[in-house]
Each structure stands twice: as C-alpha cells, then as structure tokens.
Structure 1
Amino acid sequence: MKYTEKISKKLNELLIKNYDAEKGYLNAANSIESPRLKLFFEKCATERSEFAKELRTEILRFGEEPQASGSFKGIVHRNWMTLKSLFSSNDEEVILEEAMKGEKASLEEYNEILKDETLPSSTESLLIKQKNALKEAINTERVHEELVS
C-alpha cells in the first residue's frame, strides 16, 4: 500500500466518524426541547460538517478518493440513541451521555492517527486543530450535562 493510500485510509476513517457525528448531532437537536441544547447540538453538527469538508480536501490532496457517507455502526448508534431517549425519563441527559461517548471515541481515533510520526505537517496541523475542537466540545457537553442532571 502506498504511503498516500495509507494516510488517506486513516483520514477516511475520521471522515466517516465526522459524517456520523454530524448526523447524530442533528438527530439529537431534533429530539430535545431545550433551546440551549438544541443550539449547542446544531453548532456541533455544523462543526463536524466543516471537519468533514476539511478532511475530504486533505484526502483529495493526496490524490485519493474520500468516502461519500457515514458508517453502518453510526446508523446503529443514532438509532440506539433515539430508542434510548424514547424510554428514558430524562431524554436530554441520555442524549448528552450518548453524545459524550461518541466524542470520546472520536478523540481516541484522532489521538491514534496523530501517533503516526510520518504525517505531513499540514495534515498533522489539521488533525490537531480538529482534536482540540473535540476536546472543547467534550468539556462543553460536560457543563451541559451538569445543568441537565
């Protein structure tokens, strides 16, 4: 496997995670009543959409083909979030918990890819910027979780 294919494969994994996160946040925004949380989830969805655009551009820069949509696992997770919220007494708390799980999984994936010491500096900078935004979202979600519980 060529070096560009190897990096693009890793970036495509992140791309899929961001597609899934965007859809998950939009689903969450449509599932709750709180205007503050709705706005927060919409902001996160927009941010993940932007991450996906940046990753697609980076993959194309390597002359490789970006993935076109999310994963089956992401669909299952969103459906589980919806089902769980239907049977929960506090929908917003459950949805926030699920969003936190997804963000932590994404953060781990970014950390794993950033261990590759052969990443071009432009790719590394992009991934660090996105990783830092994820950390910020996790911290914000923790604050919202405290307010909901």
Structure 2
Amino acid sequence: MDTRSKELVDQLEEILEKNRDAEKGYAKAAENAKSHGLQNYFRRKSDERRDFNNQLRRMLVANYDEIDENGSFTGSIHRAWMDVKSFFSGNEDEAMLEEAIRGDKAAVKEYEEVLEDNVLPVAIDTLIRDQKARIQSDLNTIKSLEDLE
C-alpha cells in the first residue's frame, strides 16, 4: 500500500476507533439516563454507530484488503469522543447530553477532515458523507432533548 493510501486508511481507522468509543459511550449513557426518551435516543445512537462501523469496515476491506482494528491510532492526541470517567461524573441527563453533543461535533469535524484531505474511492466518499450528514442531523435534532428533565 502506498504512503497516501496508508494515511487515508489510518484516518478511516481513527473514525472506526472513535465510533467504537461512541457506541460504548452511548450504550452506557442509555443505562444511566433517567429520562425514557433520552434512554431511547442513546440506544439508537449506539446502534447507529455500530452500523456505521460495520459499513465502513466492509468498505475498507473491499478497497484496501487489510485494516488494523486493534492497534493504537496516531494523529490527534485529543480523543474526539467521550472519556467515560468524565462523561459519567454525576450521571445527570443534561451532562450526558452535553457530552454527546460535544462528541458528535468532534465526529463531524473528523469526517470533514477526511473528506477535505483525501480523494476517496466513490463508495467510501458516499458512505463518509452519509454518515457525517446523519451525525449532523442528530446534532440539529438533539437541541430538543436538552429540555428533557
């Protein structure tokens, strides 16, 4: 694999890793949320991120044969997603929702960086754009959940 392809795969593997973190964070948030509506929202988001990864993993294997799903990923020092320890301090619905918003904003930014920095195979480009749009749409919707008690 050439250097440019390796850099792209590394970026896409970063998205896989962060989506795994998001899936686990959302599942844990669903367990801790007091609001039934918020529990359902977090469960749906956890399932969505698992689906995102299954789709992206298939695309990576189809286009690049090998992917590293267990290694540590270079790049950003800042984890673009929920730190479980700080995320659950207090277990308050509002705090969890705010952390979800922060994580989704970071995810959108990472998706945008992949799209801006690379010429992607058409199928991967379409998938990344779709996933980014779905996260962005949720960010627009989530504001109504902030008012839940």
User: When the two structures are superposed, what TM-score results if normalisation uses the length of structure 1?
Assistant: 0.86
5+ long unaligned stretches in structure 2: none
Aligned 1:32-111 pairs, distance under 5 A: 32-61=33-62, 62-68=64-70, 73=79, 77-83=83-89, 85-86=90-91, 91-111=92-112
The one-letter amino acid paired with 1:13 is: E
Deviation at 1:55, TM superposition (A): 1.4
Task: Give the 3-state SS of the residue equivalent to 1:115 in structure 2.
Answer: helix
Deviation, 1:22, is 0.5
Shift of 1:6: 2.2
Gaps of 5+ in 1: none
Structure 1 residue 70, shift from structure 2 partner: 8.9
Change (3 A) 1:76 1:137: closer
Q: Establish whether residue 148 from structure 1 lines up as the match of residue 142 from structure 2.
A: no
* Alignment CA distance shift 1:117-1:5 (3 Å): closer
Letter in 1 for 2:86: W
* In 2, Cα distance between equivalents of 1:74 and 1:133: 17
1:81 Cα deviation after fit: 0.8
Number of the residue aligned with 2:25: 24
- 1:116 Cα deviation from its structure 2 partner: 2.7
* TM superposition shift of 1:140: 1.9
Shift of 1:141: 1.5
Aligned amino acid, residue 121 of structure 1: V
Residue 7 of structure 1 and its aligned partner are, at CA, apart by 1.9
Q: Deviations over 1:49-76 (max 9, x none)?
A: 0001111112212112241489894797
**Whole-Å separation in 1 of the counterparts to 2:72 and 2:4:** 24
Instruction: Assess if the C-alpha contact under 8 Å between 1:8 and 1:64 holds in 2.
Output: no
Query: Could you tell me the percent identity over the aligned residues?
Result: 30
Equivalent residue number for residue 138 of structure 1: 139
TM-score by length of 2: 0.86
Contact preservation (8 Å) 1:60, 1:66: no
Of the structure 1 ranges 38-47 and 64-73, higher mean CA displacement relative to structure 2 is found in: 64-73
Larger helix share, 1 or 2: 1
How far apart are the structure 1 equivalents of 2:102 and 2:68? 25
Task: Give the paired residue count.
Answer: 143
Alpha-carbon distance in structure 2 between the residues aligned to 1:113 and 1:52: 15
